[in-house]
Structure 1
Amino acid sequence: MKKKVKKKIGQLHLWLGLASGLVLFVVALTGSLLVFEKEIDQYINPEFYIVPNVGKEKKTIDYCTAAIEKQYGIEKINRIVVYNDPKRTMTIIGKDTDGETQIFSIDPYTGKVLGTIAQDNRFFSVILNIHRHLLMHDIGEIITGCSCLIFVFMLISGLILWWPKKVKNLKQRLTVKWKASFKRVNWDFHSTFGFYTFLFLLIIALTGLTWSFKWFEDGMYFIANGTSERLSVKVENPTKIDPQSDKVSFYQSIYQKTDSIFPYKGNIQIRMPADTVNSILVLKENLEFNIPNQSSALYFDKYTGKNIEIRPYESFSKGDKLKRLIYPIHTGSIYGYPTKILAFMVCLIAVTLPITGLLIWLGKRKKKAAH
């Protein structure tokens, strides 16, 4: 009976692997690039990240936004990111008159634009689009999501198929016979490295599902909180009509209030609402934490700049704190370069699994044809 079950699992492993192999190859390959996105992009485009000279005093944020609004015809500011590192440029994202989203790198000491690029044309924006949507919008997201689910099954079924019947065969399953025939080396590589990377790939795949399926994210919250309810990232704006008051230091005031309320060392991100209903969300990432992406939140009136609500990271539910961990776990940035290097190597091995699996299947077909 056990032999029959294992045979059925083997057949499912084979056919599901063939059906999703190309997608998994693309997702794993783009994922390996995204692990070192910041490092690669900083090397290629240093002007987007590092200021030419560290000055004594920074220009106000409003000075910088006014400059790009006038010079580049930016009609709406979407996001502003101010970094704690004095060498770091300021990032401003806004929509131009054509409705295209532009990313600006600003020297905060001079207000000068050091670099600009359309968000959709940015190399890593394209890579991320391929990784999540295969350049096919919602349909692509469904395909990558379903492929990710299949990959979870492939990992578990692969472990079942790898598991030796006898303990004495364990050593054989843990090594690759490099001096054997190509067919044997290929099978050993697929099986052995699939086992060694099993846990890491399972974690990456499961965390990736939170971006594909709401039901999976709801399940994560239910496990953490006992309910699928979560902290809303939107707060309705109390002022309904713009009083058209003087806004010379509007963004700077929000920045300073945030820095005062949360005095720890951190990067501040100001997010303007995409609609006409909600308020401004400001996140301050705590760089004093060992783990990245741990941010406290504040909400400001988008017309008056008045603080509406304060949500320290400590007040977040277990589910919201877990959600904050998903990105650094998925990308391998959770413990810096050691886990990044590990994630990169694991992704590269994941790239090989559809190829070695296909070669195993072709070898079996060839063998059957010969008989």
Structure 2
Amino acid sequence: MKLLDTLHRWAGGLIGLLLALLGASGTILLYKHLWIGIAGAGDAQRGDLATVAAATEKLMAMPGAQGIIYADARLGLHQLRFADGAGAYANQSGEIAARWASQWERPELWIFDFHHHLFAGDIGEWVIGIAGLCGLFFVISGAILWWRTRRSFQLRLWPKRMSRPAIVMHHRDIGIIAAPLLLISIVTGTMMIFRPFAMVMIAPFGSPAEAAKAMEPPKYKGGPLAQKPPYSAMLTEARRRFPGAEFRILSLPRTPGDPISLRMRQQPEWLPNGRSTLWFDAATGELLGANDALAMPSGAQAFNKAYPIHASKVGGWTWRILLTLSGLAMTMLGSLAVWTFWFRRPKPAKRAVKRAALAAR
């Protein structure tokens, strides 16, 4: 038990600040749609084919446009993507509401990049994944360590004093209260980064091998990107294939010969951007293939629920408030763990001198 306590303290001291920052940034992102501060952000979603097609034709005609994230029930703006992190928000009629040349001009973008990549791309994802595994260890080991002191449990939102013993006691007691929510947040977040970990977590729901195969995008090849692709015809075909589904993400090919992809969200899907996908020949607009997310293996569908649970895209305000408490708890637990480890550590040498002096009296 002493070894477990030592590992818990050292790991918390070394990585607690990162977990605190992830908890704080994640909590801020839960309310992005409320503080984004752009005209039209609160507009009701207009998902009819005519409106979406007209806006798509207008926006994708802009030089350098690479794709669109369509407006949804929370954010009433389309997000247009350009190269090198540039982009724009447009209302649902296709009128530009705001533009930026870099993500640093939009707080919701750089906070998202920090929370998902630590501003370091794939390397940052790996660091966050390792932090997630450490967080999982903290929750499990913390629950084990708390059991020894369960009779002294006191529910306090803040430590009684800023002394090390008071902070440690508060840390254990508030940690055990937040443990179930922290476990959900950490597990779902780590699933999105470490695919092997995700396959272990979805194993009870179905074959991981079948899930991995179903989530692998097919390799379609077509002609070079047309100067003016028939977006309206593609959206019409997509709506025919998936009646009632929302248009979510339109993406142009990254390399010549790749297809244009269109993601849609059918109503039973939890994933906010859906996983029902269609691929069109970039030269002709001809449909090359389609993937129905509702027909995917149960393991893959379980994996697709990780992000909406993690980001409060389901469950309404009740779940969002619970995740807010989880994020605030992670922020407090991580920051106070670092504080006690580096700035309130016990000083064995001084205590030994003091005990020796008392014994000599």
Q: Per the alignment, do residues 290 and 179 of structure 1 end up closer, same or farther by CA in structure 2, a change over 3 Å counting?
A: closer
Q: How many aligned positions are there? A: 343
Map 1:133-282; keep pairs closer than 5 Å: 133-164=117-148, 169-170=150-151, 172-176=152-156, 181-183=161-163, 185-220=166-201, 222-228=203-209, 229-240=212-223, 247=228, 250-264=230-244, 266-282=246-262
**Deviation string for 1:13-65 (max 9, x for gaps)?**
11111111222222222122122222222xx22345649x9xxx743522332
* SS of equivalent to 2:171: helix
Segments of 5+ residues of structure 2 without an aligned counterpart are 353-361
* SS of equivalent to 1:231: helix
Q: Per the alignment, do residues 296 and 119 of structure 1 end up closer, same or farther by CA in structure 2, a change over 3 Å counting?
A: farther
1:117 corresponds to 2:100: yes
Following TM superposition, by how much is the alpha carbon of 1:163 offset from its aligned partner in structure 2, in angstroms? 0.6
**Deviation string for 1:303-336 (max 9, x for gaps)?**
1111122322221112221222111111233212
**Deviation string for 1:178-198 (max 9, x for gaps)?**
895543542332111100111
- Over the matched positions of the two proteins, sequence identity in percent amounts to 20
Residue aligning to 1:45: 38
Q: Per the alignment, do residues 11 and 131 of structure 1 end up closer, same or farther by CA in structure 2, a change over 3 Å counting?
A: same
> Over aligned residue pairs, what C-alpha RMSD do you find?
3.3
Following TM superposition, by how much is the alpha carbon of 1:138 offset from its aligned partner in structure 2, in angstroms? 3.5
* SS of equivalent to 1:230: helix
- Higher mean alpha-carbon deviation, 181-190 vs 336-345, is at 181-190
TM-score with structure 1 setting the length? 0.80
Cα distance in 1 for residues equivalent to 2:5 and 2:334: 15
Q: Per the alignment, do residues 204 and 107 of structure 1 end up closer, same or farther by CA in structure 2, a change over 3 Å counting?
A: closer
1:322 corresponds to 2:302: yes
Q: Per the alignment, do residues 339 and 177 of structure 1 end up closer, same or farther by CA in structure 2, a change over 3 Å counting?
A: closer
Q: Per the alignment, do residues 61 and 212 of structure 1 end up closer, same or farther by CA in structure 2, a change over 3 Å counting?
A: closer
Q: Per the alignment, do residues 315 and 146 of structure 1 end up closer, same or farther by CA in structure 2, a change over 3 Å counting?
A: same
1:17 corresponds to 2:12: yes
Residue aligning to 2:289: 309
Residue aligning to 2:66: 78
Residue aligning to 1:3: none
Q: Per the alignment, do residues 10 and 217 of structure 1 end up closer, same or farther by CA in structure 2, a change over 3 Å counting?
A: same
Letter in 1 for 2:81: I
Segments of 5+ residues of structure 1 without an aligned counterpart are 1-5
